[in-house]
Amino acid sequence: MDTVGEHPGHEMVGLVGAGLLGQAIATRLLAAGVPVIGWDVHESARDALVEKGGVAASGPDVALGCGRVILSLPDDRVVAEVLGESGDSLASGTIVIDTTTGDPENQAETGRRLAERGVSYLDATVGGSSRHVREGTAVVMAGGSHDAFVTCGDLLKTFTSQVFHVGDCGSGSRMKLVVNLVLGLNRAALAEGLALADGFGLDLDLALRCLQAGPAWSRAMDDKGQKMIAGRFEPQARLSQHLKDVRLILEAGRNLGLGLPLSGLHEALLGGVEADGYGDEDNSAVIRAWGVHGEEASTETRQPE
């Protein structure tokens, strides 16, 4: 874990993207006394930010005009659109903290372009769901200037338990893809195990307790086990977002000449569930691929190529 700076003060922080993750970050910042002005394309998200004590910006350019700006957007394509349309609002000396998990090469290029204008860019990916951010137990893995990383330490520490500087721009997303590969497969393995227990006619609560007590334990069991058993898939992190990350993982593997067969199967499972209309549910809804809490996903969409 890296040492990050303490910078008391309450300058306004800009936020672009007030979805699940952005709202959770704003909640932590506001609770710490950090004023937030935010923009989201959805009026309901802007209203929710105001209800938390934040300020709704009239457009992304207003939020980007702050000295430190947090981006929390669906993917790097949207990041490019926002910076392309409103990036002139970023003044020299601004630090952009991008929590979006995107293509590492695209983020490295974004960092290079912004650096030419005197703007620092951190791809500060978040390990954990919006719930972990709200609880302050998330982990941040940041790529970019170490000086910018230290300067933003006070913000990062409001919603994390640990922060890591992992290298140059793009390294944050590279590390996040590694984390998400392992985490996602942990969830899928848990779902398959519970599906087998269900097939055996075992008590699923008891099966989960046995898994948690023994060597098969993973944090995914604590976070997602009861959601899978109860079929309560209110999103903490959407299944479609994780599918996007798995596709980035597979693309990275192809570029490296590295076979990732388990991730290929995982993509097929998630793709089947998304095709059945459950992409906006929590990523624990992967258990639907085994016919638990719904029809089994179609063979055509579930089988890997």
pLDDT in tens, 207-238: 999 999 999 999 999 999 999 999 999 999 99
Whether the predicted pLDDT of 2 surpasses 90: no
User: What predicted TM-score, i.e. pTM, was given to this entire model?
Assistant: 0.87
Distance CA 291, CA 269 (A): 11
Asked whether residue 136 falls in the same domain as residue 182, the answer is no
Asked whether residue 218 falls in the same domain as residue 111, the answer is no
Asked whether residue 276 falls in the same domain as residue 196, the answer is yes
- Residue 2, in any domain of the structure: no
Asked whether residue 17 falls in the same domain as residue 162, the answer is yes
- Residue 192, in any domain of the structure: yes
Asked whether residue 189 falls in the same domain as residue 271, the answer is yes
Asked whether residue 162 falls in the same domain as residue 261, the answer is no
Q: Is 249 exposed, middle or buried (0-12, 13-18, 19+ CB in 10 A)?
A: buried
Asked whether residue 99 falls in the same domain as residue 28, the answer is yes
Three-state DSSP at 15 gives strand
- Residue 3, in any domain of the structure: no
- Residue 1, in any domain of the structure: no
Whether the predicted pLDDT of 305 surpasses 70: no
141-164, pLDDT tens digit by residue? 999 999 999 999 999 999 999 999
Residue numbers of the domain that contains 81? 13-168
**CB-based contact 173:245 (threshold 8 Å):** no
Asked whether residue 161 falls in the same domain as residue 31, the answer is yes
Q: What is the CATH number of the domain that holds 217?
A: 1.10.1040.10
CA dihedral of residues 29, 30, 35, 37 (deg, nearest 10): 80
Q: What is the CATH number of the domain that holds 78?
A: 3.40.50.720
Structurally, how many domains does the chain consist of? Answer: 2
Average pLDDT of span 74-87: 92
Please give the structure tokens belonging to residue 107: 């983020």
Distance CA 290, CA 153 (A): 43
Last residue of a domain, one of 168, 183, 199: 168
- Residue 46, in any domain of the structure: yes
- Residue 121, in any domain of the structure: yes
152-205, pLDDT tens digit by residue? 999 999 999 999 999 999 999 999 999 999 999 999 999 999 999 999 999 999
Residue at 199: amino acid letter: G
Asked whether residue 281 falls in the same domain as residue 150, the answer is no
Last residue of a domain, one of 110, 133, 168: 168
Asked whether residue 49 falls in the same domain as residue 101, the answer is yes
**CB-based contact 47:55 (threshold 8 Å):** no
Asked whether residue 258 falls in the same domain as residue 112, the answer is no
- Residue 8, in any domain of the structure: no
Beta strands in the chain (DSSP E): 13-16, 36-39, 55-56, 68-71, 95-98, 120-127, 138-143, 160-167
Last residue of a domain, one of 153, 168, 183: 168
